[in-house]
């Protein structure tokens, strides 16, 4: 079957346009189910024609079906099977990562924009983050089984953003663990995150439910499954950001405290605290490799430098704009400096960060009497 892309007029009448121009036609209903979003359960955007004949009605319905079919067939490989294609990469003895795309959430990637990983010990496996969906968690567990027969003994959620915990239900519930602040975040915001992921990623999310870790992580150094593991309780990207260090190999899973080749996200950011956490990471000794939450791993401190530079520029830009009396649309027009051109999503993340952070900066400037007249 050969399909052409629908014209703009056809597509506008056939689907509800969502993020990045893709059709977002699913919303969260009851746990584990997704339903069509639209008036009374129908596709939105159709105009009701006066008394259509049966033939015209059938033709219109056929056109809509063909448009949707063509759209689905034109999506990337794996989407029809909902296969993330997870292939663990061995980066050190017993240490594996799965690298996600440096993109926004979308149907095309199924939410696979996150780096996850696992460490194989003598008596079990330590999992670091479970991905954006039940499907991802199940496929990650299958990928682990291709590497080792050892059981999963600890499943860590590094923080409460959805791409890091919505695969939890695939793993043994008694192994799920996180910092207390992360557990609170999942409890209070998990369902809203899940609903939004259904909207952004469509049927990749089918069957996904929020599973809250019940085991509270205590920071410190200990032996887990025969591995010398240290857990650091930091923060700044969110209220609670867990860092996992495998001392035998010098591997640091820094989660979303570090971004590499991608602009950082800031919906729950405390930037001064985040910068302090970067200083703490940079002070670590005998590090052989860094695994950021997003972007390629590296053996140098480039992710620390990139993340710090972006956060410092972002803070100064928003503060200076507030003190200059700019309004939000004026600040949003700020050009991205050339040194950040190499970062994926720099423009879109800057706009999101302005929305997140500018109101507080504006209030601080007004309270300090620092707003300059224009």
Give the pLDDT of residue 71.
40
- For the chain, the domains span 8-73, 89-300, 312-367
Question: Residue 1 pLDDT > 50, yes or no?
Answer: no
Give the per-residue pLDDT at 372.
64
Please tell me the predicted confidence (pLDDT) of residue 80: 56
Three-class secondary structure assignment of the chain: CCCCCCCHHHHHHHCCECHHHCECCEEECCCCCEEECCHHHCCCCCCCCCCCCHHHHHHHHHHHHHHHHHHHHCCCCCCCCCCCCCCCEEEECCEEEECCCCCCCCCCCCCCCCCEEEEECCCCEEEECCCCCHHHHHHHHHHHHHHCCCCEEEEEECCCCHHHCCCHHHCCHHHEEECHHHHHHHHHHHHHHHHHHHHHHHHHHCCCCCCCCCEECCCEEEEECCEEEEEEEECCCCCCEEEEEECCCCEEEEEEEEECCECCCCCCCCHHHHHHHHHHHHCCCCCCEEEEEECCCECCCHHHHHHHHHHHHHHHHHHHHHHCCCCHHHHHCCCCCHHHCCCECHHHHHHHHHHHHHHHHHHHHHHCCCCCCC
HSE of 27, CA atoms in CB hemisphere, 13 A: 11
pLDDT of 123 strictly over 90 = yes
Question: Stretch 113-139: mean pLDDT, rounded?
Answer: 98
pLDDT in tens, 297-309: 999 999 999 999 9
- What average pLDDT does the segment 33-40 reach? 36
What is the pLDDT, as a whole number, of residue 371? 64
Looking at beta carbons, which pairs linking 30-35 to residues 24 or more positions away fall under 8 Å?
31/209, 32/206, 32/207, 32/208, 32/209, 33/206, 34/198, 34/202, 34/203, 34/205, 34/206
The pLDDT of residue 19: 36
Give residue-wise pLDDT tens across range 165-208: 999 999 999 999 999 999 999 999 999 999 999 999 999 999 99
Average pLDDT of every residue of the chain: 84
pLDDT in tens, 307-358: 999 999 999 999 999 999 999 999 999 999 999 999 999 999 999 999 999 9
* 227-243: average pLDDT: 98
CA dist list (Å): 303 to 115, 149, 250, 306, 343 = 14, 33, 16, 5, 11
Q: Give the pLDDT of residue 369.
A: 80
> Taking 90 as the threshold, does the pLDDT of residue 85 lie above it?
yes
CA distance 70 to 121: 47
Average pLDDT over residues 217-222: 98
Phi/psi at 293 (5° precision) = -70, -30
Confidence of residue 6 (pLDDT cuts 50, 70, 90): very low
How confident is the model over 261-293, as pLDDT tens digits? 999 999 999 999 999 999 999 999 999 999 999
Predicted pLDDT at 370: 64
Listed residue (82, 93, 88, 90) closest to 34, CA to CA: 82
Spatial strand order in the sheet of 227-234: 220-224, 227-234, 241-246, 251-259, 289-294
Is a pLDDT exceeding 80 seen at residue 40? no
Distance (Å, rounded) from C-alpha 221 to C-alpha 232? 9
pTM metric for this prediction: 0.79
Task: Identify the weakest region by mean pLDDT among 50-54, 90-94, 331-335.
Answer: 50-54
pLDDT of residue 79: 53
Q: In the predicted model, is pLDDT for residue 67 greater than 90?
A: no
Percent of the chain predicted with pLDDT > 70: 77
- The yes/no answer on whether domain 89-300 falls in CATH 3.60.15.10 is yes
Q: Measured in Å, how far apart are the chain's first and last C-alpha atoms?
A: 62
Instruction: Give the residue among 239, 238, 162, 163 at the shortest CA–CA distance from 193.
Output: 162
């Amino acid at each position: 079957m050969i399909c052409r892309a629908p014209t703009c007029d056809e597509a506008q009448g056939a689907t509800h346009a969502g993020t990045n121009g893709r059709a977002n036609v699913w919303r969260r209903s009851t746990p584990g189910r997704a339903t069509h979003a639209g008036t009374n359960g129908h596709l939105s955007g159709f105009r009701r024609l006066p008394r259509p004949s049966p033939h015209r009605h059938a033709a219109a319905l056929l056109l809509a079906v063909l448009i949707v079919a063509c759209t689905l067939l034109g999506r990337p490989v794996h989407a029809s099977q909902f296969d993330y294609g997870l292939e663990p990469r061995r980066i050190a003895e017993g240490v594996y990562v799965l690298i996600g795309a440096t993109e926004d959430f979308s149907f095309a990637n199924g939410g696979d924009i996150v780096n996850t990983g696992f460490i194989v010990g003598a008596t079990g496996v330590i999992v670091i983050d479970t991905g954006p969906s039940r499907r991802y968690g199940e496929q990650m567990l299958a990928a682990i089984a291709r590497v080792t027969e050892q059981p999963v003994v600890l499943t860590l959620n590094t923080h409460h953003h959805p791409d890091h915990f919505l695969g939890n239900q695939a793993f043994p519930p008694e192994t799920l663990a996180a910092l207390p602040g992360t557990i609170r975040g999942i409890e209070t915001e998990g369902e809203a995150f899940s609903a939004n992921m259904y909207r952004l990623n469509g049927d990749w999310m089918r069957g996904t439910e929020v599973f809250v870790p019940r085991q509270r992580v205590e920071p410190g150094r200990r032996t887990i499954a025969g591995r010398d593991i240290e857990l650091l309780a930091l923060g700044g990207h969110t209220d609670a950001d867990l860092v996992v260090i495998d001392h035998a190999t010098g591997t640091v899973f820094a989660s979303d405290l570090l971004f590499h080749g991608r602009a950082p996200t800031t919906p729950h950011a405390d930037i001064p605290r985040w910068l302090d956490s970067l200083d703490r990471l940079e002070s670590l000794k005998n590090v052989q490799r860094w695994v950021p939450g997003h972007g390629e791993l590296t053996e140098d401190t480039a992710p620390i430098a990139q993340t710090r530079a972006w956060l410092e520029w972002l803070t100064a830009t928003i503060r200076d704009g507030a003190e200059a009396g700019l309004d939000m649309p004026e600040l949003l027009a700020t050009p991205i400096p050339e040194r950040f051109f190499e970062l994926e999503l720099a423009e879109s993340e800057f706009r999101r960060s302005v929305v997140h952070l500018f109101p507080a900066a504006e209030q601080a400037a007004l309270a300090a009497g620092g707003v300059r007249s224009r």
